[in-house]
Every structure is written in structure tokens, then in C-alpha cells.
């Protein structure tokens, strides 16, 4: 049976982890490569880098980072942030990313997703959707871009459907209402998107406890759970998350002892 995936996400700025965990024995908590290695050794099913470098000039640093990570980490690597044109996708894939996550560029030009899926295969193209509840409504969300600053007015569910039709291989769904709150995933949003499309959905935004991860995968129905701070703050290890999920009847790949 296909396992639900646990994906630690690392925010990276100019080649450094923005909020790194001080793993025991880690030489440098700010080095994304070392962190990725630790997470992978601890049972992470995938690693995601979100590049929040403001300027385009520092992309070289990111490519170098992706290259060094892909050389040493034997689990899939997804990289997102600032992916605007074909060259960004091709350079990241050539540096060693398995999947590239695209957000704002998909909104400004949906055909970009079609073209990238045709060129590199759907398996390599993730569409990141930042969704926020329409004020006063319980079951309507719109898509935000530019790090959650701009409301596009697009209905999030219809947008997810469209991106799946256009060839996205996966949706990375972040609740802007929950992101950073540690109140748990927006389960209604997650479940609604999961039921609306036939490609995998990665839930993101709001995890603070082990129960939240379980809810996102069980009640939310997500195929994978992405989390940042619970891992970086050292609250839980990936292995602890997986043991909890196994105890609660969720199928995950058990952490392997080195």
C-alpha cells in the first residue's frame, strides 16, 4: 500500500537555512545540505527547499546547494521559490532537483504549467497554491501570490482543478490562514481539494503537534504532510512523527535505523 509521505521543508535564503535546527553533531545549523542529510537519515520521505532569496542574482548559490544536496541525499528533492521561466525549471532539474514547485508564475501564465509538464513530465512539476479563506465564508478560498500578499481572486478549488488538467503532477497546498499559527492544517480546505482532483495533494501550513499531522493525512485526506517549524524547532523528529502515525493506523514508511 502506498505510504503517506512526511516532508520537512527548509526555508533557504542566499544558500542558508533561515531557521535551522541545532541537530546534535551538526557542524553548521545553517547549512541546508547538512540539515537535509539529517532529515533524510531520520526517515524523511522527501525534502523540500523553499528559496526565499529576494534577488535573482543569487540563484547560483541555490543551484550549487541543490547540486550538493542531490549528491548526498537519496530521497526526492523538491525546490520552489522564484521559479518564473523555463530556464529556472531546467536549471533546477539539471542541478539535481526531482521536482520544481511553481506558484506565482502559474497564476500569471497558466500555460507555463502545460509547457513545463510537456517538456519535463508531470512528475517534475508541482504547483504550489497559497489559499486563504474568503472573509465571512466557510467554504470559499481564493489563491494568493507573492508570498501571500496579493489576492488573485481565483477560486482555490477551481484553480487546483485547472492546474491538474494542465499537467501538474502534484499540488502543494498551503493555508495562508494557518501558516505559522501552529493551529493545525485547514482540514476543510485540504479535504475539499483532495476530493476535487485526481493528483496527489501535499498539505502545508499550520502544523504544531503530532495530532495535526495525523489529522491532515486522515481527516484531510492529504497524500503527504509538509512541515517546517515542528522539525526545525526540534519539537519532534521525523521518526517520532512516523511512529505516532503508525500507532494511529496511518500507513507510512517506517524510519530505518542506520
Partner 1 sequence: MTTGRVAIVDLGLGNLHSVAKAFERAGANAELSADPDVFLRADRLVMPGQGAFKECAHALAGELGEAVRAWIDSGRPYLGICLGMQALFDESEEAPGEKGLGIFPGTVKRFATDLRDPRGVRLKVPHIGWNQIESRHPVFENEEWYYFVHSYYCVPAEEGLVVATTDYGGPFCSAIARDNVLACQFHPEKSQHAGARLIGHFLGDLAWN
Binding site for partner 1 (CB under 8 A): 1-5, 40, 45, 67, 70-72, 74-76, 93-96, 98, 120-124, 169-170, 198-200, 221, 223-224, 253-254, 256, 258
Asked about 130 being catalytic, the answer comes back as yes
The active-site residue, picked from 11, 88, 179, 186, is 11
Q: What is the 3-state secondary structure (H, E, C) of the chain?
A: CCCEEEEEEEEEECCEECCCCCCCCCCCCCCHHHHHHHHHHCCCCCEEEEECCCCHHHHHHHHHHHHHHHHHCCCCEEEECCCCCHHHHHHHHHHCCCEEEECHHHHHCCHHHHHHHHHHCHHHEEEEEEEEECCCCCCCEEEEECCCCEEEEEEHHHHHHHHHHCCCCEEEEEECCCCCCCCCCCHHHHHHHHHHCCCCEEEECCCCCHHHHHHHHCCCCCCEEEECHHHHCCCCCHHHHHHHHHHCCCCECCCCCC
If the CB atoms of residues 22 and 72 are measured against partner 1, the closer one turns out to be: 72
Catalytic residue among 45, 51, 88, 130: 130
Closest CB 152 distance from partner 1, rounded Å: 26
Least distance from partner 1 to the Cβ atom of residue 156, Å: 19
Query: Is 11 an active-site residue?
Result: yes
Which residue lies nearer to partner 1 by CB, 21 or 164? 164
* C-beta of 40 vs 237, nearer to partner 1: 40
The residue (of 10 and 107) whose beta carbon lies closer to partner 1 is: 10
Q: What positions carry a catalytic annotation?
A: 11, 130
Amino acid at each position: 500500500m502506498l505510504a503517506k509521505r512526511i516532508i520537512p521543508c527548509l526555508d533557504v535564503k542566499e544558500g542558508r537555512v533561515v531557521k535551522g535546527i541545532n541537530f546534535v553533531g551538526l557542524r553548521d545549523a545553517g547549512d541546508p545540505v547538512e540539515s537535509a542529510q539529517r532529515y533524510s537519515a531520520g526517515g524523511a520521505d522527501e525534502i523540500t527547499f523553499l528559496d526565499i532569496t529576494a534577488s535573482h542574482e543569487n540563484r547560483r548559490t541555490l543551484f550549487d546547494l541543490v547540486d550538493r544536496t542531490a549528491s548526498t541525499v537519496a530521497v526526492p528533492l523538491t525546490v520552489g521559490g522564484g521559479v518564473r521561466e523555463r530556464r529556472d525549471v531546467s536549471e533546477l532539474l539539471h542541478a539535481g532537483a526531482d521536482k520544481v514547485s511553481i506558484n506565482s508564475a502559474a497564476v500569471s501564465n497558466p500555460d507555463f504549467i502545460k509547457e513545463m509538464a510537456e517538456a519535463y513530465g508531470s512528475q517534475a512539476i508541482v504547483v504550489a497554491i497559497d489559499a486563504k479563506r474568503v472573509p465571512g465564508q466557510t467554504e470559499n478560498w481564493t489563491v494568493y501570490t507573492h508570498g501571500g500578499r496579493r489576492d488573485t481572486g481565483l477560486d482555490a478549488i477551481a484553480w487546483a482543478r485547472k492546474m491538474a488538467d494542465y499537467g501538474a503532477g502534484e499540488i502543494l497546498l498551503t493555508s495562508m490562514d494557518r501558516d505559522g499559527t501552529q493551529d493545525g492544517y485547514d482540514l476543510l480546505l485540504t479535504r475539499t481539494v483532495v476530493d476535487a482532483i485526481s493528483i496527489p495533494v501535499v498539505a502545508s501550513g499550520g502544523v504544531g503537534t503530532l495530532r495535526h499531522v495525523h489529522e491532515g493525512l486522515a481527516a484531510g485526506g492529504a497524500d503527504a504532510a509538509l512541515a517546517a517549524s515542528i522539525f526545525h524547532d526540534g519539537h519532534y523528529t521525523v521518526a517520532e512523527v512516523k511512529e505516532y502515525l503508525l500507532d494511529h493506523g496511518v500507513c507510512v514508511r517506517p524510519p530505518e535505523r542506520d
